[in-house]
């Protein structure tokens, strides 16, 4: 039977991963870059899930380089690329590189002697198949502000003027949703076309730069956006990638509300927690009676955020809203979730704690803006 949900982004389809990094080097920086690459290559070779990598130089322009790497699947790569170890490993390259662009692809077909592709056993029999999307890329950023500054930061973030939606002929901003949970800020963006081009476009807008400068004094992690290295490290650490997106194939209901739910994971369990929620949202997309129409799961380290478009009120079906519909699903979440961090301790199989978890996980909406041009 053909699934009724459309999955456009997923780190959990079980296929091997090809990562492509395009680099433009400063003139005269080739030797320094090669030394930095050798150090990085040796460290990456020991990372679980890494298979191989290649370094290539353009035959047409010697300042243009290409690094490709292959991984057993997306989760081990994402765990590595989002780690503090990775941030430190790539620092020596920054002074050599004028511009970079990273792309990640699931391997669906190949020729040669290699054994046929097999799905990740944790994917529960999922077949490697092309995903069908909606032409939209999704990404999020997260950072924390100093305790006590939350209301001021929310006021600043809610008050900025939206940047122009059109980036170029092929790229435009579609929607920006911003939420807070305590002193944690999460900004989710939807882009038609080139995500990187859109993020750079937004960062250059005067109204956005003014707000970013205004919140600088309140950030727990210092940054200087006029210093490329400081900005690069901040936004690298703030990246909260989308690891799964699914939407029902049915017509969009007339009334949908958007919520963000925060699931702090126990140390080292973030990817498992994200995988559990992704599987639940896939099931919800195939259930015409589910109130969850669409969902995006974002994950970095032990931070998991689930963005849901839902019919009706969030608390009408707490288990479905939380992605815990079905026998035993709350019990599966329990060993993965840092209940103490979110103020919910004890068994999640009680109705009281399910309601409590929904209340504590529901993030404060700050702003949600859609572009009329989209």
Reported as a single tens digit per residue, the pLDDT across 260-306 is 999 999 999 999 999 999 999 999 998 988 999 999 999 999 999 99
DSSP string, 176-207: EEEEEETTEEEEEEEEES-HHHHHHHHHH-HH
Q: 239, 273, 290: which is the final residue of a domain?
A: 239
In a domain, 54, yes or no: yes
Residues 191 and 262 in one domain: no
Stretch 79-94: mean pLDDT: 88
Measured on CA atoms in the order 339, 345, 346, 347, is the torsion positive or negative? negative
Residues 214 and 329 in one domain: no
In a domain, 126, yes or no: no
CATH number of the domain encompassing residue 162: 3.30.70.100
In a domain, 120, yes or no: no
What is the C-alpha separation between 215 and 204, in angstroms, rounded?
A: 16
Residues 269 and 349 in one domain: yes
Residues 246 and 232 in one domain: no
CA-to-CA separations, 259 to 36, 66, 363, in angstroms, rounded: 43, 39, 7
Residues 289 and 344 in one domain: yes
Q: 205, 239, 273: which is the final residue of a domain?
A: 239
Residues 339 and 273 in one domain: yes
182: left (phi over 0), alpha (psi -120 to 50) or beta: left
Report pLDDT for 370.
Answer: 81
**Residue 128 pLDDT more than 70?**
no
Residues 277 and 358 in one domain: yes
What is the C-alpha separation between 259 and 272, in angstroms, rounded?
A: 22
pTM over cut 0.75: yes
Residues 191 and 271 in one domain: no
In a domain, 320, yes or no: yes
What is the C-alpha separation between 329 and 357, in angstroms, rounded?
A: 14
Q: In which domain, by residue range, is 202 found?
A: 136-239
In a domain, 324, yes or no: yes
Q: 64, 85, 106: which is the final residue of a domain?
A: 106
pLDDT tens digits along 161-211: 777 788 888 888 889 999 999 999 999 999 888 887 888 777 778 888 888
State both tokens at 154.
Answer: 């929310």
Residue 239 CB burial class (10 angstroms; 0-12, 13-18, ≥19): middle
Number of domains in the chain: 3
pLDDT tens digits along 354-368: 999 999 999 999 999
In a domain, 184, yes or no: yes
Which pLDDT band, with edges at 50, 70 and 90, does 120 fall under?
low
In a domain, 128, yes or no: no
Residues 82 and 145 in one domain: no
Stretch 140-155: mean pLDDT: 96
**DSSP state letter for 363:** P
Report pLDDT for 94.
Answer: 87
Residues 253 and 329 in one domain: yes
In a domain, 131, yes or no: no
Report pLDDT for 372.
Answer: 47
Q: Tell me what the pLDDT averaged over the chain comes to.
A: 88
Residues 246 and 338 in one domain: yes
């Amino acid at each position: 039977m053909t699934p009724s949900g459309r999955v456009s982004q997923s780190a959990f389809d079980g296929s091997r991963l090809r990562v492509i990094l395009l680099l433009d080097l400063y003139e005269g920086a080739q030797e320094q870059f090669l030394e930095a690459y050798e150090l990085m290559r040796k460290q990456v070779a020991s990372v679980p899930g890494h298979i191989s990598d290649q370094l290539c130089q353009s035959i047409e322009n010697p300042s243009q380089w290409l690094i490709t790497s292959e991984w057993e699947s997306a989760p081990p790569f994402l765990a590595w690329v989002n780690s503090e170890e990775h941030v430190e490993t790539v620092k020596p390259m920054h002074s050599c590189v004028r511009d970079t662009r990273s792309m990640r692809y699931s391997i669906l077909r190949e020729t040669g002697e290699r054994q046929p592709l097999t799905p990740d056993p944790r994917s529960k029999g999922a077949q490697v198949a092309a995903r069908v999307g909606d032409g939209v890329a999704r990404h999020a950023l997260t950072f924390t502000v100093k305790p006590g500054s939350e209301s001021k930061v929310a006021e600043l973030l809610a008050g900025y003027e939206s940047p122009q939606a059109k980036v170029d002929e092929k790229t435009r901003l579609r929607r920006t949703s911003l939420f807070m949970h305590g002193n944690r800020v999460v900004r989710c963006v939807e882009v038609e076309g080139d995500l990187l081009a859109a993020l750079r476009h937004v960062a250059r807008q005067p109204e956005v730069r003014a707000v970013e400068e205004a919140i600088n004094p309140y950030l727990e992690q210092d940054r200087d956006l006029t210093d490329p290295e400081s900005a690069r490290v901040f936004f690298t650490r703030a990246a909260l990638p989308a690891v799964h997106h699914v939407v029902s194939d049915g017509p969009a209901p007339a009334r949908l509300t958007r919520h963000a739910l925060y699931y702090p994971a126990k140390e080292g369990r973030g990817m498992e927690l994200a995988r559990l929620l992704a599987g639940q949202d896939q099931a919800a997309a195939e259930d015409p009676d589910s109130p969850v129409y669409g969902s995006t799961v974002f994950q970095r380290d032990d931070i998991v955020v689930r963005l849901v478009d839902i019919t009706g009120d969030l608390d009408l079906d707490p288990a479905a809203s939380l992605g815990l519909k079905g026998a035993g699903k709350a019990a599966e979440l329990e060993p993965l979730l840092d209940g103490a961090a979110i103020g919910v301790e004890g068994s999640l199989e009680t109705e009281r704690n399910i309601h409590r978890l929904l209340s504590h996980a529901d993030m404060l909406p700050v702003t949600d803006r859609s572009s009329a041009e989209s």
